[in-house]
Amino acid sequence: MSIAASISDYRLLAKKRLPRQLFDYIDGGSYQEQTLAENSNAFDELKLRQKVLRDVSNIDLSSSLLGTKASMPMAMAPVGLAGSFAHRGEVQALKSAEQANIPFCLSTVSICSMEEIANQASASFWYQLYMIRDRNVVKNLINRAKAVGCDTLIFTVDLPFPGARYRDSRNGLSGSNSLATKFSRLFDFVSHPKWLWDVGITGKPLVFGNLVDEVPNAKSMDDLQGWLISQFDPTTSWEDLAWVREQWSGKLIVKGIMDPEDAQQAVKVGVDGIIVSNHGGRQLDSVPASLAALPDIIQIVNGACNVLLDGGIRSGLDVVKAMGMGADGTLIGRPWVYGLGARGEQGVTDVLEIMRDEMRIGMALTGHTNFDSISQDIFC
């Protein structure tokens, strides 16, 4: 596959290579997937203003994400189960991120543990945390993140209950654990022999690496997943965010803010950053696109903390548009996992290079040489 391929090509390659239940896990959304579609459609509706006869020979895409220098205004979002898409997938993704010089964020429900990632990392990485019922588990995860040198914690707040993801239910990834469902899963796996060898056989252990010590009686991924679902905490409140702030002295970003009042409250708690996100359309369907929620949140935050955008970004041009709308940076999830599922580390590297090239061309043809110079004037 040539580097000239688009991200949609990598999506199709991942769809072909991966068991259906794993592809649908990353590709799908909740309920009727209206918000999933809206996230991307919102970018499509923005039209760029093409400018000519400007010196764009020296384009600088570099940025600073909460003090972390990056080669472009983009971080790799936390994605659960990423290690099931390629052999020790989070490790491969980390290496691509480091090569590209952008931040990588490890999920609470990653396959590879934070210690495994730290052993392979040449610099600090970000860690994402869910609030779960047992606060001792949360505190232990925070302390482990400190111990391995993480300097940035992303606290995801939009999951008091898991959204209804119908693709996962149909494919047996969640819900029924009947004999018929187990047989269907097995058939799905053996129908993809390359994945089966690369991940299913030689990529073990396929468990939630950060949680195995917390669930000592778990014997399988199903056991760990059942425990995790039971631990999502609907009582989580702003007081819990304040408690996390007390526990964590590094940079703290809250992810899952879609409402200006919530953004204002997060600033009062003392977060360093807000990620405007609807969980990639995987939680509450029929909410606005993340991009649509961005302007009001930027206005009410008024520079008190960084505001990043997550959701719907499928190209480097989308990153340019997000920055034009006022974001301080962006996160990508599905694009890097499509690359990982298609070609492992090389696929992630290719996706990041595609997006870099698209950003560079987008900046050049709108007459800009750095992101500090763009605003909503970039749009028609």
**Residues labelled as active-site residues:** 279
Looking at 54-124, list the stretches that DSSP marks H as alpha helix, in order from N- to C-terminal side: 89-100, 114-120
Residues sharing a CB contact under 8 Å with residue 262, sequence separation 6 or more, in sequence order: none
SS3 329: strand
Q: How many CB atoms lie within 10 A of CB 345?
A: 20
Q: Are 369 and 361 in contact (CB under 8 A)?
A: no
Handedness of CA 248, 252, 256, 261 (dihedral sign): positive
Distances (CA, A) of 89 to 15, 22, 369: 16, 13, 34
CA distance 18 to 203: 14
Q: At CA 77, angle to CA 313 and CA 62, rounded to 5?
A: 70
SS3 87: coil
